[in-house]
Amino acid sequence: MKYMGSKDKISKEIKEIIDLNRTGLEQAYVEPMVGGANMIDKIKGVRIAADNNKYLIAMWQGLQQGLIYPKEISKQMYDNAKSDFKNGSNVFYSDFLIGWIGFMASFNGKFYNGYASDYIDGKNKKIQYDRNYIDESIRNIETQIQLIKDIEFYCCDYSQLIIPEKSIIYCDIPYNDTTKYRTNIFDYPTFYDWAELKSEEGHKVFISEYWMPESRFTKIWQKKIKSNLSTKTQNKIECLFIPRKQIINQYATLF
């Protein structure tokens, strides 16, 4: 799925680290901030996913249930769904369709931040596309539907998710000092405390970020990738961190 901050480009490397540190398919693999499910759809065995965006979870659950979705999304449909989203209503659409329309038809996967085929840049100039981004988004997510069938999806904050004992936890948090997924502020110190606590409880915790405080977390992997969060392509160094006291099986090709 096209999603802001997607880990699809580095999912193979992260999966290898996860698999190396997993005791078996019966050990729960947990993503408390599942987003576009571009990591968890490649994992086998027991899988648990959560997110505090109710429309995202309603969309994933609806796809699991085989709900019908539109394959063409007009600007009017987008505007109506955006109105429901902004007002917290269901005048035009269900939560499932508000999620579907918002994620399939928003520019660059930024939820209701502009219709994908009618994007206006920072200079208030309309950008003309040669590609059908909405159609591409729909075709991308359709390849995921069979891969997410048995995932347990929950709508809740990461701190409220009930996690089975000694799980593998992968956290793709909103990156510090970057464009946020939503307008609310992510509490990084509180998350750091939570991640360390989960590690102390016997879970193995892995976190994607560009930077984390060295006194509390250790970087175990990094890779330079191209980022397309705006109309400009930038090179970024994706990193994977663990709580400093956590012991893991080493990855064969660490940087």
In whole angstroms, how far apart are CA 72 and each of 12, 30, 43, 60, 240?
31, 33, 30, 19, 37
Question: pLDDT at position 98, please?
Answer: 98
Dihedral through CA 224, CA 240, CA 184, CA 50, nearest 10?
Answer: 120
Mean pLDDT across the stretch 210-222? 95
Burial class (CB in 10 A: 0-12, 13-18, 19+), 159: middle
Residue-level pLDDT at 124: 46
* pLDDT tens figures, 136-181: 999 999 999 999 999 999 999 999 999 999 999 999 999 886 554 4
Q: In the structure encoding, which two tokens stand for residue 109, read together? A: 């996967």
CATH architecture of 1-52+156-255: 3-Layer(aba) Sandwich (3.40)
pLDDT at 103 over 60: yes
Residues 6+ apart with CB under 8 A from 207: 170, 171, 173, 195, 217, 240, 241, 242
pLDDT band at 52 (very low <50, low <70, confident <90, very high): very high
Whether the model pTM is above 0.85: yes
Distance between CA atoms of residues 218 and 204, nearest Å? 13
CA 91/CA 82 separation, integer angstroms: 11
- Sequence ranges of the domains in the chain: 1-52+156-255, 54-148
